Amino acid sequence: MSTKSAHTAFIKSKAKELGFISCGIARAEHLADIAPQLENWLAKNNHGHMSYMANHFDKRLDPTKLVPGAKSVISLAYNYYPIKDLAKNNSYKIAKYAYGEDYHFVIKDKLKEFFAAIEEEVGAIEGRIFTDSAPVMERQWAARSGLGWLGKHSLLLTKQKGSFFFLAEIILDLELDYDSPIANHCGTCTACVDACPTEAITKAGVVDGSRCISYFTIELKDELPTSMKGKFEDWMFGCDICQDVCPWNRFSVAHSEPRFTPHPALKGLTKNDWQELTHEVFSKVFQKSAVKRTKFSGLKRNIEFLK
């Protein structure tokens, strides 16, 4: 086995040991084919008020601008599908990814351990770790490395595991064996497109972020538009509709990450409880949660909009 292949085998083995459900590797290179798509998406203002999406255009497309001398992009997937779907509780809903502790902290801890293990194995390397925290086209890199394909809802999909997983990356200046993309298996299915109540999926693989329920309930800091009244289907933080209806997600299995266990209170709060939510309860239930992004005032705004 060559040194390159030995390093690759170690990385894939370590990924599994750390609990990642998939690991794929792509050559670090300029995403020339993605550039016009991103440019067009931004030109149509599909990012809405998410101005940060228009920043660092070159860095988004070229990993060597994030890690000089980068040779490989390691893409990783980490399952978050819950044991119980709380959206079926006939109450206001929170996206599954936000049930437990904020994934940024959970996965970043694993990535730090992962990077240290790679350095110990191969010697001094230059690299950086990412999980939805920098201008990295994570879904595109994951698709290039063979982790799955981009579904019509623009999320990464796999035949074996669906789409309820986080993506993370390690970009480093180490030559490795590279994986190949896999075929798209959406076929003629339009379940996600048809189910979106705000018609945010404008065509296969393209989401108008400024019409997405997740955008309205998390990213938008202004008042919610009256034109969307009655269309949120009780989602008060994020939205899982396009994933819930996807046939491939019937293969999703529950995660085994203790830090993703939801706060006990989340399982029993009624709509009336949410409407009477106090800052004290919000702080206790969402102490380490991604829901803190919307702040107490933002969540109260969302709940009021759903009444």
**Catalytic (active-site) positions:** 132
Say how far apart CA 255 and CA 176 lie, in whole Å: 29
**Dihedral sign (CA 59, 61, 64, 67):** positive
**Dihedral sign (CA 5, 155, 253, 105):** positive
At residue 25's C-alpha, the angle toward residues 22 and 30, to 5°, is: 135
Are the beta carbons of 251 and 160 closer than 8 angstroms?
yes
Say how far apart CA 114 and CA 119 lie, in whole Å: 9
Length of the chain equals 307
Smallest CA-to-CA distance from 173 within 125, 122, 102 is with 125
Residue 106 in tokens: 């959970």
User: Radius of gyration over alpha carbons of the chain, in Å?
Assistant: 20
In this structure, how many other beta carbons lie within 10 angstroms of the beta carbon of residue 2? 8
Residue 142 in tokens: 């994951």
First-to-final CA distance of the chain: 63
What string of DSSP letters covers 127-167?
EEEESSSSS--HHHHHHHTTS-EE-TTSSEEBTTTBT-EEE
Phi, psi dihedrals of residue 218, rounded to the nearest 5°:
-125, -55
Say how far apart CA 19 and CA 88 lie, in whole Å: 28
